[in-house]
Amino acid sequence: MRAIILAAGLGLRLQQPVGEQFPKCLLRFDGVTLLERHLQMLDAAGVDDVVLALGFQPELVEAELKRIGWPHKVEIRLNPRFDLGSVLTVHTVADAMTSGGDVLLMDADVLYDERILSALVADEHTNRLLIDRDFEAGDEPVKLCLKDGVPVELRKQLAVGLEYDTIGESVGFFRLREETAKRFAEIVAGYVDSGRANMPHEEAVRDLLLERSHVFDTADVTGAPWIEIDFPNDVKRATDEILPVLQPLVGAAR
């Protein structure tokens, strides 16, 4: 199983002061960067094949990797047009997406409990989505809608009249089987070739789901704390609300 961590973006919505900007995966909570937390939990879950997609200030992330001293090799892929959408970043790691085995596609800017990752990696050879039914309605969350257990929508804005029986927020992590990852890479390449490289990669995941050519199961992680960090208030919520209720990190990679 291979983990691909998307950490290329500028993080403009975080509103860091000009001249003091840095990749969001280097945000520290209780003295530990998001990147180090990712690696520690992947190590504890038995995932030691990691590809890191970088773009903005990659040298800072590479320096953090050296400081962490994770005992496994981390492959680096660079997206020089990191100012565009995450579809292009995923396209940058297409070789890792299609080189065999299950793939975990993970946003780097998420502070999460180990129960989130445990739900993602459980069982063998499956396509999996994560859903949190306890979410704040609004324009920002990416909604995952199910009907009879089948995904019928994955978007921030839902179409009027959409039929579903379950709705929640999609955690920014996806698990793809080998053949599904290859098809996903083809869809992403189509976005880039047709001039839609500025799109979020969730749109390509949505296309994959709605093709119905690959079966996905959905793990319900409602109650397990997590937060995607996009805005300044998210940093405060992560510190005040999420961090205190996370299960202690185990198997620290030093």
pLDDT at site 9 = 85
Whole-prediction pTM value? Answer: 0.94
d(CA 194, CA 1): 30
What DSSP string runs through 62-86? HHHHHHHT-SS-EEEEE-TTTTS-H
Token duo for residue 89: 């970043």
Where are the domains positioned within the chain? 2-245
- Distance between CA 104 and CA 130 in Å, rounded? 12
The pLDDT tens digits for 88-103 are: 999 999 999 999 999 9
pLDDT 10s digits, 74-131: 999 999 999 888 999 999 999 999 999 999 999 999 999 999 999 999 998 899 999 9
- Predicted confidence (pLDDT) at residue 251 exceeds the cutoff of 80: no
- pLDDT given for residue 199 in this prediction: 95
Average pLDDT, the chain: 93
> Nearest Cα to 210, choosing from 202, 199, 221, 200?
202
212-230 in b/e form (b: 16+ CB < 10 A) is: eeeebebbebeebbbbbbb
pLDDT at site 254: 36
Dump pLDDT digits (tens) for 132-168.
999 988 888 999 999 999 999 999 999 999 999 999 9
3-state secondary structure at position 135? coil
Q: 150 pairs with which residues across the strands?
A: 147
Fold of 2-245: Spore Coat Polysaccharide Biosynthesis Protein SpsA; Chain A (3.90.550)
Is the model's pLDDT at 252 over the cut of 50? no
Task: In whole angstroms, give the CA distance from residue 152 to residue 61.
Answer: 37
Give the C-alpha separation, 149 to 51, whole Å: 31
